[in-house]
Structure 1
């Protein structure tokens, strides 16, 4: 949306806090399974020995542990199936607008903003956007509509590049990565969480200044470089233990780069690329890609690492480079643009090269 003068109201504050607390527990459970890994694996082993009077096969233990780490992501993936229903039926302002209930939308926005001036501006923007679009879009229509094809491809590539670039492998298994060279690996895992939080806050302040596209490009290329160096370090650290500290630095750098751009942007970019009827399905689609990518990486990283070792980081590097290349050529800059302006770029322009459109895909 175009920048509006901000006015903090109690409802805005409550909404922000609720959103933050909702994601906080997800982040907590993503990282907290790291530290007790050995205890949980020993529990699996003891249970197996009690039942079968033998040690649990290593392959089975690896699979069971990775499934334990990833199962919450699969649950979140299933939960994404209900995003459209909840957004369309309980989302205050978009549904009042989509259903032609302008008075209800005005009242809801007034409660949210606290003053009539920004409310009128937002309503005018929504009505201007609604003038070009149909009232509602079904799931099949969403994937068939010509003007949605480019946004769908953008959301798909940005999310897969982000979620499969290695961040989720590190955030889920950092303790195990550090244990080979550090006795108190759990404290380094706390450091990973701290860096994650700090650079999420940094991204909050940079997002509107630097722009989404620039942060995506910077994040993807740094992640790719970190993965390449992690491959080298992994092959040398056993013979040169001093490189362990450099490994920690690379992990912290990768986490920082992810949270500066690909991490947060992959979640909300769908909301900026789709018009009102398609926005709820677009957000559900992006959420499914996010959680699906997290689930696959958390599930498959341990067995893949067991087979190819540090070369698994090269797979992450390839995904990050894919994200970088796609962003460079195809992802528009959405900073400072209204939803209608962005949608207009896609409307009826499926075959136009977006990176050549004046002012659309350039650095500010």
Structure 2
């Protein structure tokens, strides 16, 4: 590998700090309220009784807890709306630093809610934390995708998802009854989420901003060059600078995209449809339902109720290990094969799980088959369905349209997440185990779409991927045009802009 293609210490640290300070907390807050739920609900009851002198009505308690759970994805939806204006005006790194304020504020409010005797603050903080997660889930993949060399872009692009799974696992471990998932520990459990943000706020300023943002959007070649030299660990970055200029010239006529103009622009039609389909497939494929059913599945297989939380932790650990495997194999196998394998495994496990759940009362070993199905499903989601769609948004869009694409993808992601949380209980009541056939159909449909439409993007530049999609969109791209001037870089080297228009 050339020096520009190697993993440098700076690039590794940027990936780790961004992942730990932002993505980790997204995962942490997905599962942090699961274990201490009975103790938190008890706190809601006691607080209400102190204020009003009467016990809380059962239906009102259910409403409050539903709000506590569902405000997080709703906040994520609002956070996604903020992606486009923030990353364009404040930069990728700048947005992550601003975003820490949401997390630290929410952590302080949740951590002190018991002392203040107010449950409303917890519900409000879940919205604020959701806004943080909505921004983090979109900005971190965008930032890391833009700072990575093309041969490492897939692996580094999965790092955010790896930290999400680590966050879920850490919340499950700390949420064990013997640690913080108890009457005295839950406020600290909720408040700990501010620590990664504090670490990120103190360390990320010492690392470079996205070179693509600095050059293409800010027109500051000097700072972009310095950022690239730090990230690559060498002074010769002319090839990447030239590639950025090519990208800039090829999209000059299009200007900056808003979410609305992106949705109506013919030249990016199939990229946009692909992102919407993959994001819907990711969230509507039943991953939340599988986790919801997991406890019951393990209990039916003979696991004691008191030990179910330890089994849940083991499922979280499998999730982390398989996502780490995806990081290691994505550059050798490519994106398409992981997406197809992931959705394929999910569809098969959903179909078999439907059968196993229906027969487990009559056939004794079916409960063990159910456990195998859950594990296979988690593996499928971890290697493909969860991490790869965010990588694809980075790769399928150029600089001018990428923020708007992440905003649209984020909105679909969080809206579907919220919808599943809202609808699944009714689905389960009406369909029972047959709910998984719906998820199976969604996984199959998504896999079929990917097979016929989504190209392999491994080891290709953003411009090369754009050319592939231009053919599908049946548009002529201004790949470059004959320009007479010569661009001189600060080091004194000059290259002529010898480009031409090609009808694709």
Is this a same-fold pair by TM over 0.5? Answer: yes
Matched, 1:249 2:249: no
Alignment equivalent of 2:226, drawn from 107, 120, 127 = 107
For the structure 1 residues 47 and 250, does the alpha-carbon distance in structure 2 shift closer, same or farther, using more than 3 Å as the test? farther
1:125-274 matched pairs, under 5 angstroms: 125-134=243-252, 135-171=255-291, 174-181=294-301, 182-183=303-304, 184-274=307-397
Equivalence for 1:304: 427
For the structure 1 residues 333 and 66, does the alpha-carbon distance in structure 2 shift closer, same or farther, using more than 3 Å as the test? farther
Q: Distance in 1 between matches of 2:53 and 2:289?
A: 31
Q: Distance in 2 between matches of 1:7 and 1:221?
A: 32
Question: Which stretch shows the higher mean deviation, 280-289 or 170-179?
Answer: 170-179
For the structure 1 residues 100 and 199, does the alpha-carbon distance in structure 2 shift closer, same or farther, using more than 3 Å as the test? same
**1:42-66 C-alpha deviation (Å, 9 max, x unpaired):** 6677889998768725xx7766555
Alignment equivalent of 1:116, drawn from 226, 232, 235 = 235
Question: Contact conserved, 2:259 with 2:407, CA < 8 A, in 1?
Answer: no
1:7-86 matched pairs, under 5 angstroms: 7-10=7-10, 12-21=11-20, 22-39=22-39, 56-57=58-59, 65-86=65-86
Q: Distance in 1 between matches of 2:448 and 2:387?
A: 19
For the structure 1 residues 7 and 314, does the alpha-carbon distance in structure 2 shift closer, same or farther, using more than 3 Å as the test? closer
Question: Which stretch shows the higher mean deviation, 231-240 or 189-198?
Answer: 231-240
Q: Distance in 2 between matches of 1:196 and 1:333?
A: 25
- Equivalenced residue count is 347
Q: Distance in 2 between matches of 1:28 and 1:176?
A: 23
Q: TM-score, normalised by structure 1?
A: 0.86
Question: Contact conserved, 1:30 with 1:172, CA < 8 A, in 2?
Answer: no
For the structure 1 residues 311 and 3, does the alpha-carbon distance in structure 2 shift closer, same or farther, using more than 3 Å as the test? farther
Provide the secondary structure at the position in 1 that maps to 2:455: coil
**1:83-113 C-alpha deviation (Å, 9 max, x unpaired):** 1223223233233222322222112222222
For the structure 1 residues 126 and 52, does the alpha-carbon distance in structure 2 shift closer, same or farther, using more than 3 Å as the test? same
Question: Contact conserved, 1:268 with 1:283, CA < 8 A, in 2?
Answer: no
For the structure 1 residues 241 and 302, does the alpha-carbon distance in structure 2 shift closer, same or farther, using more than 3 Å as the test? farther
User: Per-residue deviation at 1:160?
Assistant: 0.7
Matched, 1:96 2:98: no
- Give the structure with higher Rg (CA): 2
Q: Distance in 2 between matches of 1:64 and 1:323?
A: 35
- Residue ranges of structure 1 left out of the alignment (5+ in a row): 353-364
Provide the secondary structure at the position in 2 that maps to 1:334: coil
Q: Distance in 2 between matches of 1:351 and 1:71?
A: 42
Question: Which stretch shows the higher mean deviation, 104-113 or 264-273?
Answer: 104-113
Provide the secondary structure at the position in 2 that maps to 1:277: coil
Matched, 1:322 2:406: no
**1:244-287 C-alpha deviation (Å, 9 max, x unpaired):** 22212211110111111111011221110011100111122222
Q: Distance in 1 between matches of 2:3 and 2:353?
A: 40
Equivalence for 1:360: none
Q: Distance in 2 between matches of 1:43 and 1:237?
A: 37
Equivalence for 1:356: none
Q: Distance in 1 between matches of 2:282 and 2:245?
A: 34
Question: Which stretch shows the higher mean deviation, 313-322 or 106-115?
Answer: 106-115
Q: Distance in 1 between matches of 2:365 and 2:38?
A: 25
For the structure 1 residues 62 and 231, does the alpha-carbon distance in structure 2 shift closer, same or farther, using more than 3 Å as the test? farther
Question: RCO (CA 8 Å, sep 6+): is it higher in 1 or 2?
Answer: 1
Question: Contact conserved, 1:199 with 1:256, CA < 8 A, in 2?
Answer: yes
Q: Distance in 2 between matches of 1:96 and 1:65?
A: 44
